[in-house]
Amino acid sequence: MDPIIIAIIVLGVTALIFAAIIFGVEKQFKVIEDPRIDEVSEALPGANCGGCGFAGCRAYAEAIVKNESLEGMFCPVGGNDLNADIAAIMGLEAEEKAPQVAVVRCNGSLKNSPQKFNYEGAQSCAFASNLSAGPGGCPNGCLGLGDCVESCDFDAMYMDKETGLPVIIEENCVACGACVKSCPRSIIELRNQGKKSRRIYVSCVNTEKGAVAKKNCEVACIGCGKCVKACTFDAIVLENKVAYIDFEKCRLCRKCQPECPTGAITELNFPPRKVKAEVTEENKEV
Amino acid sequence: MLKTFKLGGVHPPENKLSAHKAIEAIEAPEKIFVPLGQNLGAPSVATVKRGDKVKTGQLIAKGEAFISAMIHSPVSGTVDKIDTHIDASGYRRDTIIITREGDEWEEGIDLSADLRKEITLSPQEIVEKVKASGIVGLGGATFPTHVKLMVPDGKKAEYLIINAVECEPYLTADHQLMLEKADEIVVGVQILMKAIGVDKAIIGIENNKPDAIEHMNKSVANFAGITVQALKVMYPQGAEKQLIKACVNREVPSGKLPIEVGCVVQNVGTAFAVYEAVQKNKPLIERVVTVTGKNVSIPSNFMARIGTPVSLLIEKAGGIPEDNGKIINGGPMMGKAINSTDVPVTKGTSGILLMSEKEAKRVREYNCVRCARCTTVCPMGLEPFLLGLAGESLDWEIAEKEQVMDCIECGSCQYTCPSGRPLLDNIRLGKFKVGQIMRSRKN
């Protein structure tokens, strides 16, 4: 017989035997998986960013289907629309959540907080933070080595060479929180995006005494409490010598910002203020 | 033949510029800054408050945790305030600030220069006394000495090893102390031997200090059990585990303490401090600090009170040279650059090194060429290039698997790297992160 025919027969028979085994095993040991897991994970963005708190999109989908609940589950990348889609797949009620965006709560730029020495060690904030307070001298301030930029999977951050601070590109930010975790000094915070992207926050987390903080940085929060008094909605708290604006309570009235003696309160995307008639010494008396 | 440890090691240029310079006592300045966190472990808690009058040697802060130490006032005067002040870490930490008025000592402290040889206290009392005197390891790690002297149940110490290696280049504090206070040190060694209940002590000295070896040999001649061991010059021989290997050829297992192999290691400066505490009732309020550097006009060894700003010491040594690049707290291998001369001398300050800009500049970083020099010199048998990469790529799993926690941070790898890679920086980051992960796992 022609060897080629032998080969065809042998291989053909082997193939049939294996096909039978595979068929049998498939029938016998079939894993019945909830089809919704696939559906949910299909709907997810597939970025595997970890913003939901799970290892990846698949793990998140599995957790949702397993718990049969959307409580405390939110994919910041997909936002409310996606959450509604998932709710529809699961037959559950979706909870609306205000969209969030990351903000950098430090304004200690090279100009505001001049460098006192040159740092040339490992280019990692985590390491530099362990080593010293940093060239600016502020023990809570941004070190400018870009651990956060490195951690961002969405190209939503870059390092501004001029200020030495990270900048967040709002359109790209999905509030996954990777940068928040990567910052060894907890400077970055996720805040509600706000109406028309308007936000107001204290861009300082320094907990030192006012005089010491001010020495290192022009725009440090000195914990004077003026903004707390100015706020009519009890949205500002003063803790550890640093003010914090609660974004849930803040109504964006902008009363606090002009009160700050150091300019530590940052306003974003607001229209320019109307210039009021200045109160000078002369017309005050009248 | 001279002994040394077997694995790795480097031999950097010694540069002992301040050798044989007599220890010069520095008068305490007007204001003194005593940080509360001077020792390894928990910071101490202040027992004085603003406006209190204190005498030299009076207890001003209590170590309440198990690993913690007492702090005594280095001067007499008034407590100005308890505020934050910059320390060697570059951060502002709680500090007791005292304004000096005269120099009035606490009663009961023997200030005479007489040598007191008889040891009257029991081992238990010695440990108590060491604890009350706030003595910590003066080699630089500042581990509270009394904790080391309490041999855990079920373990037995066989050897007391006195670390007089001073393998860091430039530093000469221990060397000079041995030349000037040999007899006192030997009594201190005996006290330590009694405290931990051993009859054998080895004083390990590197061979680049032949006069110290000779001097110590003379002093120990009358005491049975104490020997002086000359060691081959090799860095990092002053590291606890390497010194044990060199002196008694025993290896401390990974993650274990020296007592596991029956050894207790104490620095020679600590032995002197123990002598002063036990025999003279004098707490640890001053230490020998080497101020040195190639461009320093008068490299010196100073006896400085704890809390003296570094600026004063540098001034006494001739001021900061013009082209100074870095001021380093400690030696060139393991020391850390400080960013202000307001930093006070603490119990762990063994030296202040002023490096010129040229010396201090980091070399350009290239890619790893896998030459394996770092692996050859690592005294712990690790693979620094791999740990460095793990640190760089934030892969803590690999770092942990490759035993990053065993690194003693001696810096031999970075010193020897022909590509100028920041190996130790990345390994330190790995140690910190893996330590955090391990602790969180325990909880």
User: Following DSSP, what letter does each residue of B50-66 receive, concatenated?
Assistant: TT-EE-BT-EEEE--SS
B157 found inside a domain: yes
Answer whether B90 sits within 8 Å of A209, measured CB to CB: no
* A55/B contact by beta carbon, under 8 A: no
* A132/B contact by beta carbon, under 8 A: yes
B338 found inside a domain: no
B342 found inside a domain: no
E runs forming strands in B67-142: 71-72, 77-86, 92-100
Closest CA to B382 of B336, B348, B346, B414: B414
**Cα–Cα distance for residue pair B420/B364, rounded to 1 Å:** 6
Per-residue pLDDT, B205:
94
Shared-domain flag, residues B388 and B251 = no
- The two beta strands, A165-168 and A236-239, are unpaired
Q: Is the pLDDT of residue A285 over 70?
A: no
**Cα–Cα distance for residue pair B403/B390, rounded to 1 Å:** 12
Of chain B, the percentage scoring pLDDT greater than 70 comes to: 100
Any bridge partners for residue B61, and if so which?
A: B46, B71
**pLDDT one-digit tens code per residue, B129-180:** 999 999 999 988 899 999 999 988 888 999 999 999 999 999 999 999 999 9
Exposed/middle/buried for residue B11 (C-beta within 10 Å: 0-12, 13-18, 19+): middle
**pLDDT one-digit tens code per residue, B381-392:** 999 999 999 988
Count of Cβ atoms closer than 10 Å to residue A9 Cβ: 11
Residue B362 CA: distances (Å) to CA of B358, B366, B415, B421: 9, 12, 11, 10
* H/E stretch holding B15: none
Which one of B91, B361, B413, B437 would you mutate to disrupt binding with A, by most A Cβ within 10 Å of its Cβ?
B91
* A50/B contact by beta carbon, under 8 A: no
Chain B interface residues facing chain A, Cβ-Cβ under 8 Å?
84, 89-92, 336-337, 339-340, 362, 391-392, 422, 425-426, 428-429, 432-433
Shared-domain flag, residues B381 and B251 = no
The three-state secondary structure class of B303 is strand
B35 found inside a domain: no
**Cα–Cα distance for residue pair A252/A194, rounded to 1 Å:** 9
Shared-domain flag, residues B127 and B274 = yes
A209 contacts in chain B (CB < 8 Å): 84
B267 found inside a domain: yes
A126 contacts in chain B (CB < 8 Å): 429, 432-433
Per-residue pLDDT, A286:
44
Shared-domain flag, residues B395 and B252 = no
Per-residue pLDDT, A278:
55
Q: Which of A91-100, A168-177, A245-254, A257-266 has the lowest mean pLDDT?
A: A91-100
The three-state secondary structure class of A74 is coil
Q: Is the pLDDT of residue A57 over 60?
A: yes
**pLDDT one-digit tens code per residue, B219-232:** 998 888 999 999 99
Per-residue pLDDT, A132:
85
Tell which of B280, B307, B325 closes a domain: B280
Answer whether A127 sits within 8 Å of B425, measured CB to CB: yes
Shared-domain flag, residues B261 and B404 = no
**pLDDT one-digit tens code per residue, B362-401:** 888 899 999 999 999 999 999 999 999 998 888 899 999 9
Shared-domain flag, residues B250 and B388 = no
**pLDDT one-digit tens code per residue, A140-155:** 999 999 999 988 988 9
Nearest to B92 among A127, A134, A212 (CB): A212
Asked whether the CA dihedral B262, B265, B271, B273 is positive or negative, the reply is: negative
A139 contacts in chain B (CB < 8 Å): 91-92
Determine the residue of chain A that is closest to B335 in CA distance: A131
Nearest to A121 among B89, B92, B422 (CB): B422
For helices B173-180 and B182-196, the axis angle rounded to 10 degrees is 100
Q: How far apart are the first and last CA of chain A?
A: 122
Distance from CA of B440 to the nearest CA of A (A): 16
Average pLDDT, chain A: 88
- Ordered by where they begin, the domains of chain A are 35-90 (1.10.15.40), 100-268 (3.30.70.20)
**Cα–Cα distance for residue pair B220/B229, rounded to 1 Å:** 12
Instruction: Judge contact between B288 and B302, C-beta under 8 A.
Output: yes
B275 found inside a domain: yes
B54 found inside a domain: no
**Cα–Cα distance for residue pair B270/B146, rounded to 1 Å:** 11
**pLDDT one-digit tens code per residue, B102-116:** 888 988 898 888 888
Answer whether A133 sits within 8 Å of B433, measured CB to CB: no
DSSP state letter for A283: H
Place of tokens 């280049």: B169
* A133/B contact by beta carbon, under 8 A: yes
Conformational region of residue B47, where left means phi above 0, alpha means psi within -120 to 50, and beta covers everything else: alpha
CATH number for the domain spanning B201: value is: 3.40.50.11540
Answer whether B428 sits within 8 Å of A209, measured CB to CB: no
**Cα–Cα distance for residue pair B175/B164, rounded to 1 Å:** 7
Q: Is the pLDDT of residue B338 over 60?
A: yes
Q: Which of A12-16, A127-131, B264-268 has the lowest mean pLDDT?
A: A127-131
**Cα–Cα distance for residue pair A142/A217, rounded to 1 Å:** 11
Mean pLDDT of B52-63: 93
Per-residue pLDDT, A275:
67
Answer whether B432 sits within 8 Å of A126, measured CB to CB: yes
Per-residue pLDDT, A282:
54
Provide the CA A186 distance to its chain's centre, in angstroms: 11
B-contacting residues in A 11-40 (Cβ below 8 Å): none
The three-state secondary structure class of A44 is coil
The three-state secondary structure class of A131 is helix
**pLDDT one-digit tens code per residue, B315-335:** 999 999 998 989 999 999 999
Q: Is the pLDDT of residue A281 over 80?
A: no
Per-residue pLDDT, A166:
94
Closest CA to B206 of B185, B183, B228: B228
Which one of B85, B329, B339 would you mutate to disrupt binding with A, by most A Cβ within 10 Å of its Cβ?
B339
Q: Enter the pTM of the model.
A: 0.84
Tell which of B280, B302, B335 closes a domain: B280
Q: Is the pLDDT of residue A276 over 80?
A: no
Q: Is the pLDDT of residue A280 over 50?
A: yes
Top-confidence residue, A132 or B269: B269
Which amino acid is located at B281 in the chain?
N
E runs forming strands in B1-148: 23-25, 31-35, 45-46, 53-54, 59-62, 71-72, 77-86, 92-100
B97 found inside a domain: no
**Cα–Cα distance for residue pair B73/B102, rounded to 1 Å:** 13
Count of A–B CB contacts within 8 Å? 47
Q: Is the pLDDT of residue B28 over 80?
A: yes
Shared-domain flag, residues B275 and B380 = no
Average pLDDT, chain B: 92
pLDDT level of residue B90 (50, 70, 90 thresholds): confident
Per-residue pLDDT, A283:
53
* A134/B contact by beta carbon, under 8 A: yes
Shared-domain flag, residues B131 and B273 = yes
| Calculated CA dihedral for residues A62, A66, A71, A72, nearest 10 degrees | -40
Range of the domain at B175: 123-280
- How many folded domains does chain B comprise? 2
Mean pLDDT of A86-91: 87
Nearest to A116 among B92, B339, B426 (CB): B339
Residue A48 CA: distances (Å) to CA of A54, A75, A104, B315: 9, 11, 23, 58
Mean pLDDT of A57-67: 88
Shared-domain flag, residues B129 and B276 = yes
**pLDDT one-digit tens code per residue, A262-273:** 999 998 888 888
Tell which of B280, B295, B313 closes a domain: B280
Which amino acid is located at B337 in the chain?
A
pLDDT level of residue A50 (50, 70, 90 thresholds): confident
* H/E stretch holding A100: strand A100-104
